[in-house]
Structure 1
């Protein structure tokens, strides 16, 4: 089982959150807790989740994403997804979540 890491870096006027590893039932609670803490602490109004190193996401991961999106909106912040791999992007399209999230090709576009 691969561990998941979440790293944060400050870009101008936005917080970039790099997730590495499978975003699945085993890891989603931990990922959510880490990102939610940053959402609440950060002064930035835009949070970009860099998903370039997420090879796999399951329904638990998607649920976590939706939950984080709600948290961000409650805090008047924008959550943007960046650099989704083709297979992950396809899951967002199949579940129509690509209509719910703002998805960009690279973090710089957010």
Structure 2
């Protein structure tokens, strides 16, 4: 498994505004999961305003178990 070792303390919380993101592929999903691992705990990432297609991907992948999703 790949582990990142940040050089400085990561932010406690990260918010991604997805209001202008019509599609997320596997690379984008992987980035969100790595960001979640860097923060150290679940629910330290907030995904704001995902479009319908992106929200459907999050529902299928059960991302809401790891991150907060706000309308």
Taking structure 2 as the reference length, the TM-score comes to 0.73
- The root-mean-square deviation of aligned C-alpha atoms, in Å, is 2.3
How many residue pairs get aligned? The number is: 63
- Whether 1:67 and 2:34 are equivalent positions in the alignment is yes
Name the structure with the higher strand share: 1
* 1:46 Cα offset (Å): 2.7
In the alignment, which residue of structure 2 is the partner of 1:57? 24
- Regions of 4+ moved over 3 Å: none
- Supply the distance in 2 between the matched residues of 1:66 and 1:92 (Cα, whole angstroms): 12
In the alignment, which residue of structure 2 is the partner of 1:86? 52
Note the 1:1-110 alignment, pairs <5 A. Answer: 40=10, 45-73=12-40, 78-105=44-71
* 1:103 Cα offset (Å): 0.7
Q: Give the unaligned 5+ runs of structure 1.
A: 1-35, 106-110
